[in-house]
Structure 1
């Protein structure tokens, strides 16, 4: 049991090494972080934490948890990874510890979802709906668009081709082709480099509508850029359908 004399982080760091694993980390030119392969050491321990003296009387005197430490090792590493996790899930082997660490890495995806749901996107907090059930239904409708944004983000980062129909309808693809002609610059560096069989061709157009400059040497567009671009494209799409239908009469 940990008491006031034993610090949790010190206790965790003193545990025997349970294993290592490697992960690929993306670089960030703006923060001057280079792409690298990180070696992570994993330690874990079952712990019992006592109740603080100022905690409420309704709380138990102690609680049993499992603590996990994931620490990047190596020389001359700027801002190395150091994650310390507490969980009620029983952690008695490396496989379970790695599973908990993997779950933790999803926090960035979850934060992206909430960022789009809130002020940087749909601004759901400004909704005038008063009942929780109605808000949940609205969130589900919004999640359909958010899933589309994640599909674009993952597909654009991948070296493999993806089918355009996995994200856009035939009508949308036709409209995007017209947009690409307007969005391409005069130089080769500002031309859309992707084939019509690759989803990245149309994601490129969405990113350009979202304010991305289009240079391949530039940092890849993020989910907020895709959100802005998709909203603009939806407006363009509505106007294009209206014009097409009127011209066919």
Structure 2
């Protein structure tokens, strides 16, 4: 770990930006298989880092970057938050708060199913949602005796989003899950409407 300062770039700004103190963490992958080069990278952080424990904590933070990137991709590509025209800041703040929760739910579904797919589906879906989904997938009005698993409902949702579920396909990603959740919303609304007429 080494501390230093970064100077601002030569931008045409009316005021001079201050230098930023940064800490460099040099990381090299350990326990690499033979005939493979270890990964090596330099991480710069503005968070004070003076001990080995602090450096490891910063690396753990960085490791979570890809999850955050996936969440941003859902927010930008799925919710299309950048393409929307809100008219004013108040509308933007309210809409972005809603889209942030929607994006989190899609990402949560994607990751949780990979971690523990045997959980009951009600850890993710409301009763009306999983019932509507089950009835649509199985073309029935009879509900199962047991709750479907998380793996089952995530697969059904992903298929509505275009996931092919071939033998060697990777698990469903955020994009097909986003599209699947859009379909699930419509399925749930129709299920609710028809149940009201019974």
TM-score (norm 2): 0.81
1:114 aligns with 2:65: no
Q: 2:49 aligns to what SS in structure 1?
A: coil
Structure possessing the higher relative contact order (Cα contacts under 8 Å, 6 or more residues apart): 2
Structure 2 unaligned residues grouped into runs of 5+:
140-145
Structure 2 counterpart of 1:198, from 149, 154, 172: 149
1:162 Cα shift?
2.1
Q: Which of 116, 135, 156 matches 2:113?
A: 156
Deviation at 1:204, TM superposition (A): 1.4
Q: Deviations over 1:156-214 (max 9, x none)?
A: 212463232221111111112123325xxxxxxxxxxxx73522221111011111122
Tell whether 2:57 aligns with 1:99.
yes
Contact 2:23 2:45 in 1 (8 A): yes
Q: Per-residue CA shift, 1:62-120, capped at 9, x if unaligned?
A: 54321012222534337x533322122221111111111122222222222221222x2
1:228 deviates by 0.7
Q: Match for residue 164 of structure 2?
A: 213
Displacement after TM superposition at 1:51 (Å): 6.7
Instruction: Choose 107-116 or 230-239, whichever is displaced more.
Output: 107-116
| Higher share in strand | 1
Specify the structure having the higher radius of gyration (Cα): 1
Residues 68 and 227 of structure 1: CA distance in aligned 2, closer, same or farther (over 3 Å): same
Of 108, 123, 127, which residue of structure 2 is paired with 1:166? 123
Structure 1 residues 64 and 233, CA, compared in 2 at 3 Å: closer, same or farther? closer
Q: Residues 50 and 203 from structure 1, CA distance in 2 versus in 1: closer, same or farther, beyond 3 angstroms?
A: closer
* Displaced runs of 4 or more, over 3 A: 48-52, 54-57, 80-83
Paired residues of 1:155 and 1:162 also in contact (CA < 8 A): no
In structure 2, what is the Cα distance between the partners aligned to 1:230 and 1:91?
Answer: 41
SS in 1 for 2:149: coil
2:46 matches 1:88 = yes
TM-score norm. by structure 1 comes to 0.66
1:226 to 145, 159, 177: 177
Displacement, 1:145? 1.6
Over the residues paired in the alignment, what is the CA RMSD in angstroms? 2.5
